[in-house]
Chains A and B, each alone.
Chain A
Amino acid sequence: MIEVHELTKRYGGRPAVDGLSFRVCPGRVTGFLGPNGAGKSTTLRMILGLEAPTVGTATVGGVAFRSRPRGLRHVGALLDAGNVHNGRTAIAHLRALARSNAIGRGRVDEVLGEVGLSAVARRRVGSFSLGMRQRLGIATALLGDPPVLLFDEPANGLDPEGVRWVRGLFRRLAAEGRTVFVSSHLMSEMQNTADDLVVIGRGRLLAAESADAFAARGSRRSVVVRTPDPEALAAVLRAERARVSADGAGLLTVDGVNADRIGELAHRHGLQLHQLAERTASLEEAFMELTGDTVDYLSGEER
């Protein structure tokens, strides 16, 4: 369990993290979302005690992580794949960390195998691709077999197989009853992985709820209808005060009337339907809608 209370970090001017409060529960994968520069990494670093909050507290299992003498058995973290000395081999990096926490060498070989780096364990990290570095970072996080795991943008640099693998890993870790907190700036990465979501923008909390509840926020619930007679159907629907847009090839997108009602109306007016589907709002849309005005680095626009 991770508990963050009124967490604020100021580096001089505008706060990077501003009065953030949320809880991350065990046994679930929690996505930590926000646009670039929203304060996700700063929050994770404060949870790990690497940065001191200006105001507020962050605890893991009820204890400030910084007060633990050794950390790997309590929290495993992948912060930045670059947090390794390029001159060391993967195995030397892990052995030193393991030794500092009295973790045996056998465990190092185990996690190297688990992330698929056994074959390159004795190569210097400087020669690793970003994806290999991510895997090494994940191996570091797993080293102490901890009940709480933090991953900062773990999918960066991973190939599609790697992305599928980390998703499976997160699900498995959560199924083992662990707390899994995964940051990302891409909602699509969370679509089928996260049970819960914590969404922030400009350092402030925008939402903390289950992924299902979050998806339901998407306000534009529309229905897609395909019919051989789009004009007639459109006229019927407009009479019901629905907003209808046609693509000219028999496909209508309808807002304001649900699918049941559209089927009923079509039947009553003797109109044939080839397709009738409710387009459920995606997490992505809900995310864009929510964070739209908190994006710091918007492409194609001076702010």
Chain B
Amino acid sequence: MKKHPVDDLFQKRLASLEKKPSELAWKRIREGQKTKSRRMVAWVWYAAASVVLTLLTGYLVWQGQNDISSPVPGSSEIAKVEQIIPKKDLPGDSISVKDKGVLGQELKISLPAEQPSLAKQEVKTEAPLTKPNLERRVEIDKIDRPAPVQVAKIEPVKTEELKVEKTEILQSVAPDKVMPNTVEMARREEKRPDRTIIVEVEEPVSEGKDKSKSRLSRVFRQLKNVREAEPVDWDDVGFNPKSIIARADDRTNDDEKISGKRERKN
């Protein structure tokens, strides 16, 4: 395409036009670069600070949520109690494991609900037989009980035998360590009336915990309640908006009364 003569003239002369910059120009460029690098450093610090702040806030929120999470009534809970029973007490016990050479042998015995308060009771016995003492782990599943948290402590069994109606024995043994005919299954015995199990139930003290929590976590909890459309405990928040609105309304009414009186006077 042919170029316009004016374009051609100006392009030829001015395309390579050069002008000498002043001495200050280079210094200004250098200073500008330093300023930019300083800004970058400041930005890095700001970014680091914001990350730390975010992590801290996240941790606080997470901690608050953990505190809030309370057990739902009616849900099943398992209370684990480790009971150490001296070996000498065992001979007469209905659960007897004769093989002492197997490690990690675990007997799990499910008991029937003999007591009316317990829907299901499970007795789990771990029998590390090399040790002098046997550890008996009792797991109690409570389904019907309304209490949220219960810790059961079982005193050492005074009577030597536990009544077992239905027994389940689980053995988790390394296959190479299993020796045939060394373990005799727990003997089942029919109901024995002289069984005594003492269960001590401790209720968790939740109020003391609540008070010790920070106000921030309490406010967060109430915010969560608002979000999930659950009732808000305004005592935890620290103020009740309803009472504030009521006060404002009272004031307005007073003003109206005063102004009404003034009008009447006039």
Please say whether chains A and B are actual partners in one complex.
no
Interface residues of chain A, those whose CB is within 8 Å of chain B, are none
